Amino acid sequence: MPKFILDGKEIEFEQGQTIIQAAKKSGITIPHFCWHESLSISGNCRVCLVEIEKMPKLAIACSTLAAEGMVVYSESDKALSARNAVMEFELINHPLDCPICDEAGECKLQDYAYSHGNGESRFNEEKAHKDKRVPLGPLVMFDGDRCISCSRCIRFCDEIAKESQLTFIKRGDRVTIVTYPGKQLDNPYSMNVTDICPVGALTSRDFRFKARVWELSSTKSICNGCSRGCNINLEVRNNQVLRLTPRQNDEVNSFWMCDHGRVNTYKFINAEDRVDSPYLRRKGALARSGWDEAFAAASSELKSYSKNEIAFIGSPYATCEDNFILSKFATQIIGTKHMDFIRHFNTSFGDNFLRQGDVTPNSFGAKAVGIFPGKGGLDLDGIIKAVKDGQIKAVYLMEDDMIAFNPELQEIFSKLDLFIVHATNFNKTTELADIVFPASTYAEKHGTIVNSDGRVQRLKPAVATFDVDRALEGMSLSRWDKFGTKFDSWAEGNKRDARSSWRILAGLSGAMGHKYKYGTAEEVFMDIAKSINAFSGLDYEVIGELGAKLKLDSVTKPVIA
Amino acid sequence: MEKIVLPDIKDLHLIDVYIQNGGYTALKKAFSQTPDDIIDQVKKSGLRGRGGAAFFAGLKWSFMPKTSSKPKYLCINGDESEPGSFKDRQILEFNPHQLIEGTLIEAYAIQANAAYIYIRGEYHKWIKLLEKALADAYEYGFVGDKMKEKLGGNYSVNIYVHKGAGAYICGEESALMNSIEGKRGYPRVKPPFPAQNGLWGCPTTINNVETVANVPPIINKGWEWFSKIGEPKHPGTILYGLSGHVNNPGIYELPSGTLLTDLIYKYGGGVPGNKKILCVIPGGSSMPPLRGEQIEGIKMDAESLKAAGTSIGTAGIIVMDEDTDLVQVLARIAKFYYHESCGQCTPCREGTGWMLKLLNRIAKGEGSTHDLDLLISVASNIEGNTICALGEAAAWPVRFMITRFRDYFETCVSREVTIPVANKVHSLRHTEYPLAPIKD
């Protein structure tokens, strides 16, 4: 491999790589604002100016191709003074309103001002002013004063979202960003511009002024908005999820996620209508109960039906571990073959970028771990028909709002003698249920889900419940020195009495006289890996932060309706 | 003295008059030779660009790839916008056919598939004049499909006149190409250069109007003849634009290397009221100015001016007499570059405004010597750090005017240095404090 020298270190590169790319591959970051790995090169910010031997002028590392034997200095006097000069220019007209800026704490300009700035300003004139608080679209707010005109957002719309909606207008220090006439920034991926904006010029209207970012803890997780399984960070304060941000995974979502995933998939976690303990129907109304009482009730109710009168409905929203235990519970303890799960397809949601027509995160996994009818057993349509005909008298439903899915089922399911439901939130389905178990959301449990490409990815608890504490592994917090103290804003807030569905089932089977030996979700997964071919060789470590592929030949891919 | 580009021939702008005076014969002659021969002659003639950088024209043409899977283009830069520069419009008005003929010869030499003449939007009148001349040339069969029939051979090319929309920056070659493509007039990051990646990403050559207008005489009379005119290192005649405090301002076509003092006193008729000269900008407003007492013996060609600490630029000479308020002049020049900075890259976008604000303050009588140092520092921080040469164009006048007229400027500012109380903040650049990695 050819090499060049950067600040005395040998850097390997591939032909066609720029200095900044090759340096990044070798773990060295040359300061930059406008350059972004997956966008075209713009070269406008000039922060990455470096000195190159035998070149008369400084060159920008983002667009200069690395060449064999090239000698580059990013920390020489000339390079540093250019960087300081550029930083000074960036800051003279910047409002320096960090104390009220949402970006503060994760702002490149702020960070670079600390690490590369002069530490003082020689600018004593009036700053240039531009428009503030301009809604560019339903989800993104623009502050012209803060903008450093790096054009990342414009390039994102043109090149990634492939809907040209933003452009520069005017010239010089009057340059600002607007939407094209008659357009707004409303593409399905619009909020990614708030992530790549290196300053607080573009902020999320969903998150604006909700928290200072350093108050948030960040836990690596997976979006549950569709079967793409975009890698995300769950950002939490006081046990409340306040925002989701995309996490880079080149195999799945690169740097991006869609707006639906970002704004529509976390609010139910914090909602008031969470199921906060087991509930039993008494005198026609659901009433709170203890866990043991609920387990005993469910156990004795289930025992009063023959196995062919009971059907199980798994969930593409629940983890592989949850579905695996449900499948085991249904086949081994109850002995029924009537088992399936509901497919949620919305072909108009899918696109040819990230969004998938299967709008659940784990239908692949649910099927792969055994949620399908046994030989001669009933599938979903069969179960519904049998409920209607009265052959099925009891249904055990895990984490799905069946009635919202199909309102016609309300009448049919109200015929059931026994309807046991695991639910995260009260909904149309829980209204019919006889027993409701409080299920943890994807943000409150360990587990795995499988995306539409057959990639197993891990969920970790970012929100604590009575059952599971926050996962420390891979979590980041701006102030670990606060951790566990009374200033740990992570630990405050409402903890709910919810459990992972597999834990609920394990408890229930215990009440039915069958003890499962699993202590943790990881142990459940180890059993999955042992007993299901597609998962063999996998464990939580192998899956890691970026996921691992299932052995695809041994599982049939679910077909989109 | 021979005039090559703007000869004294009445009605030369009319195609019949142009043909009567030997017009379009160079084109015929060129077509009887190979493209490489033409490039070779232009190379040997020593013709240098007249748009500011004085780059060797023939060498530039030779950068075009001989074989290319993509179309090749020729651009002619008529976006004449530099304050003090008004020569190209004389060509458009008085000798447009020589520009058209030069364009055709160059197009043939680089085997261009199309040629564009880009003219600044404010030149309404001159755009019309050129369009008329071009229409006549089409009618006579010198341009377009009829070329093959008229001139023999197998080459034909169309010329398109493209009107700018009023941006100085579009005179920068790559911004000009973006503008033709219908994009924002932002200069491109170089490399790649136009010969590899020009119009629509295709190999492109771009030359100034005056440069191209010199080509037909070179072909007709030979490169040896041309190379003997004026200074050997920058041969030919130059259209000097004389403006400011001179009795006879205007365009003077004279051999390169003409003495600056001759231009001002012999041709320009001297300074009104016989005042002393305070300052001369020799090449358009972006070039470093000279002090009045410096101009004796200075020859007007690229090399001589370089040696004198300035640059030929577009040879637009701005003369300022002893009563000129240089602070106002510099503030006005700074305002121009502030107004025209495209805003793409940081140093120029932010720096031009800062310099203007400082100069306006000094002009109001509120400046201090500290501000002069600051101006030089800001200008130096822009210089060399930008995408295009407009950074230098904006910085040079400020830096050189203040350094060369320091005594003058110091009389315009307070000696009391009031260093503004800076917004002192932490800077961790020189500390060992570990910083978290900065995310993208």
**Domain B326-430, CATH class in plain words:** mainly alpha
Average the pLDDT over each of A99-108, A307-316, A471-480 and give the range with the smallest value: A471-480
| Contact check, Cβ <8 Å, A172/B439 | no
When pLDDT is cut at 50, 70 and 90, the band that residue B226 belongs to is very high
What is the residue type of A290? G
* Cβ distance of B343 and A60 shorter than 8 Å: no
Nearest to A124 among B344, B420, B426 (CB): B420
Chain B positions in Cβ-Cβ contact with residue A115 (cut-off 8 Å): 428-429, 435, 438
Among A48, A71, A92, the domain boundary falls at: A92
Packing angle of the helix pair A320-328, A501-511 (nearest 10 deg) = 20
Tell me which of A395 and A115 has the higher pLDDT: A395
Check CB contact of B387 with chain A, cutoff 8 Å. Answer: yes
- What are A397-407's pLDDT values in tens digits? 999 999 999 99
* Residue found by looking up tokens 């702020």 in the block: A110
For B269-302, letters b (16+ CB in 10 Å) and e give: ebbeeeeebbbbbbbbbbbbbbebebbeebbbbb
Residue A485 is predicted with a pLDDT of 75
Cis preceding-peptide flag for B191 (omega within 30 of 0)? yes
Measured CA to CA, the distance from residue B301 to residue B315 in angstroms comes to: 9
Average confidence score pLDDT of chain A: 94
* B425 in contact with A, Cβ within 8 Å: yes
Mark yes or no for CB contact B353/A255 under 8 Å: no
Per-residue pLDDT tens over the stretch A499-519: 999 999 999 999 999 999 999
CATH topology of domain B238-321: Ubiquitin-like (UB roll) (3.10.20)
pLDDT of residue A429: 96
Cα(A522)–Cα(A448) distance, rounded to whole angstroms? 9
Neighboring chain B residues of A167 at a CB cutoff of 8 Å: 184
Reported confidence tier of residue A484, pLDDT bands at 50, 70, 90: confident
Residue A181 within a domain: no
B422/A contact by beta carbon, under 8 A: yes
The pLDDT of residue B424 is 44
A436 falls within a domain? yes
Q: Which of A46, A119, A123 sits opposite B426 (nearest CB)?
A: A119
Whether the predicted pLDDT of B46 surpasses 90: yes
- In this predicted structure, the answer to whether residue A479 has a pLDDT above a threshold of 80 is no
Domain boundary among A92, A109, A129: A92
**Closest residue of chain B to A121, computed from CA coordinates:** B422
User: Domain of A453?
Assistant: 279-554
Strands (E), B29-148: 73-78, 114-119
Q: Assign A552 a pLDDT band (cuts: 50, 70, 90).
A: confident
Q: Do A86 and B385 touch (CB under 8 A)?
A: yes
- Whether A369 is covered by a domain: the verdict is yes
Domain boundaries, chain B: 15-227, 238-321, 326-430
Beta strands in B55-189 (DSSP E): 73-78, 114-119, 158-163
pLDDT at A481 over 80: no
CB A36 to CB B361 under 8 A? no
* pLDDT at site A560: 39
pLDDT digits (tens, 9 = 90+) for B202-212: 999 999 999 99
The C-alpha torsion from A257 through A259 and A265 to A269, rounded to 10°, is: 100
Q: How far is B423 from chain A (nearest CA, A)?
A: 5
Mutate to test the interface with B, among A33, A44, A92 (most CBs of B within 10 A): A44
Domain at A365, CATH number: 3.40.50.740
**What pLDDT shows up at residue B421?**
46
A118-147 average pLDDT score: 93
Q: What is the pLDDT of residues B73-102, one digit of tens each?
A: 999 999 999 999 999 999 999 999 999 999
Q: Is B417 on the interface with A (CB under 8 A)?
A: no
State which residue of chain B sits closest to A149, comparing Cα positions: B344
User: 3-class DSSP state for residue A120?
Assistant: coil
Any A CB within 8 A of B362 CB = no
User: Does A115 contact B428 at a Cβ distance shorter than 8 Å?
Assistant: yes
Q: Across the interface, which of B169, B374, B428 has its CB nearest the CB of A114?
A: B428
Using the Cβ of B423 and the Cβ atoms of chain A, whether some distance falls under 8 Å is answered with yes
Q: Is the pLDDT of residue A473 over 80?
A: no
Asked if the model's pLDDT at residue B434 lies above 60, the reply is no
Domain count across chain A: 2
Q: What is the pLDDT of residue A486?
A: 72
- Say if residue B115's pLDDT is above 70: yes
pLDDT score for B433: 44
Quick one: average pLDDT of A343-369? 95
- Please check the confidence at residue B296 and state whether its pLDDT lies above 60: yes
Does B189 contact A60 at a Cβ distance shorter than 8 Å?
Answer: yes
Rounded distance between C-alpha atoms, residue B194 and residue B180, angstroms: 14
Answer yes or no: do A49 and B385 touch at CB < 8 A. yes
Other Cβ atoms within 10 Å of A250 Cβ, number: 11
Q: Calculate what percentage of chain A has a pLDDT beyond 70.
A: 98
Q: Which residues of B touch A149 (CB under 8 A)?
A: 343-344, 346, 349
Average pLDDT over residues A291-318: 96
* A385: amino acid identity, one letter: K
Size of interface A-B (CB pairs under 8 A): 136
For A119, nearest residue in chain B (alpha carbons): B427
Distance of CA B155 to the CA centre of its chain: 30
- Contact at CB, B427 and A118, closer than 8 angstroms: yes
Whether residue A108 and residue B438 make contact (CB cut-off 8 A), yes or no, is yes
Per-residue pLDDT reduced to its tens digit, A215-252: 898 999 999 999 999 999 999 998 999 999 999 999 99
Nearest by CB: A89 against B350, B423, B425: B350
Buried b (16+ CB within 10 A) or exposed e, A414-431: eebebbbbbbbbbbebbe
The model's pLDDT over A159-180, given as tens digits with 9 standing for 90+, comes to 999 999 999 999 999 999 999 9
Burial A35-60 (b: 16+ CB within 10 A, else e): bbeebebbbbbbbbbbbbeeeeebbb
Contacts of A548 by beta carbon, 8 Å cutoff, 6+ apart: A455, A456, A538, A542
β-pair type (B277-281, A476-477): unpaired
pLDDT tens by residue, B308-345: 999 999 999 999 999 999 999 999 999 999 999 999 99
Q: Inter-chain contact B350–A173, Cβ cutoff 8 Å?
A: yes
Q: Is residue A82 part of a domain?
A: yes
Contact between A514 and A505 under an 8 Å Cβ cutoff? The reply is: no
Average pLDDT over all residues of chain B: 94
Residue with tokens 């990634």: A160
Which positions in chain B touch A108 (Cβ < 8 Å)?
438
For residue A385, pLDDT over 90 is answered with yes
pLDDT digits (tens, 9 = 90+) for B138-195: 999 999 999 999 998 899 999 999 999 999 999 999 999 999 999 999 999 999 999 9
Q: How far apart are CA A476 and CA B291, in angstroms?
A: 63
Higher pLDDT among residues A349 and B424, named by residue: A349
- Residue B231 touches partner A, C-beta closer than 8 Å: no
* Domain-terminating residue out of A42, A65, A92: A92
CA–CA separation, A366 and A341 (whole Å): 8
Q: What CATH number is given to the structural domain containing A50?
A: 3.10.20.740
Which CATH entry fits the domain spanning B15-227: 3.40.225.10, 3.40.50.11540, 1.10.3720.10, 3.30.70.100? 3.40.50.11540
For residues A403 and A432, is the Cβ–Cβ distance under 8 A? Answer: yes
Q: Could you report the per-residue pLDDT of A61-111, keeping only the tens digit for each?
A: 999 999 999 999 999 999 999 999 999 999 999 999 999 999 999 999 999
**How far apart are the C-alpha atoms of A228 and B54, rounded to whole Å?**
57
Residue B425 has pLDDT above 80, yes or no: no
Asked whether the beta carbons of residue A117 and residue B339 sit closer than 8 angstroms, the reply is: no
Give A-chain residues touching B339 at CB under 8 angstroms: 171-172
In angstroms, the CA B81 to CA B121 distance is 10
Chain A CB within 8 Å of residue B165 CB = no
Give the residue-averaged pLDDT of B387-406: 96
Chain A residues with CB inside 8 Å of B352's CB? 172-173
- The pLDDT value given to residue B422: 44
For an interface test with A, which of B335, B345, B361, B430 has the most A Cβ atoms less than 10 Å from its Cβ? B345
- Pairwise pLDDT comparison (A322 vs B429), residue with the higher score: A322
